[in-house]
Amino acid sequence: MRKAPSHPIHLCRDFGRDAEMERIIEARVAIRAEAEAIRWRLRLIVIETAILTIMVLLAGWLLDQPLASVLRSGLLVCAGASTSGILLVGLSGGVSMGLSRLAHWKAAREAIDHWTKRK
């Protein structure tokens, strides 16, 4: 079949350039989203640590405990909560990266196996 002649009103589009631009935009958005996710994780760690520390200090004050004991307990809870939060974020990021690399390795291995069995 013959292609119908294009009308002069219709715009000529180059979809190859649009696809390349779309890929660039998606890459930038992914980088920005990853940076925002890290910031939000750190904000959550700070908020969680502050809430736990305030609760311990308030409980010690309401129970009429000695000031040094209350402050020491608050400091220990603050250190423990922030350390555990940072460890949790770090380990989850490490496991996520490891699983991603494993998936890429497995896909590459399957592609190699597919081509070696084909010949």
- Which tens digit of pLDDT belongs to each residue from 62-76? 999 999 999 999 999
Tally of domains in the chain: 1
CA angle 92, 98, 104 (to 5 degrees): 140
* More reliable by pLDDT, 9 or 33: 33
Token pair recorded at residue 106: 């497995």
CB 86 within 8 A of CB 45: yes
Instruction: Please indicate, yes or no, if residue 9 is contained in any of the structural domains.
Output: no
* Full residue range of the structural domain in which residue 86 is found: 15-118
Q: What's the mean pLDDT in 24-38?
A: 89
Cα–Cα distance between 39 and 71 in angstroms, integer? 29
Instruction: Please indicate, yes or no, if residue 29 is contained in any of the structural domains.
Output: yes
- Average pLDDT of every residue of the chain: 87
Residue 4: pLDDT over 70: no
3-state DSSP percent of the chain in helix, strand and coil, to 5: 85, 0, 15
* One-letter amino acid of 54: I
pTM: 0.64
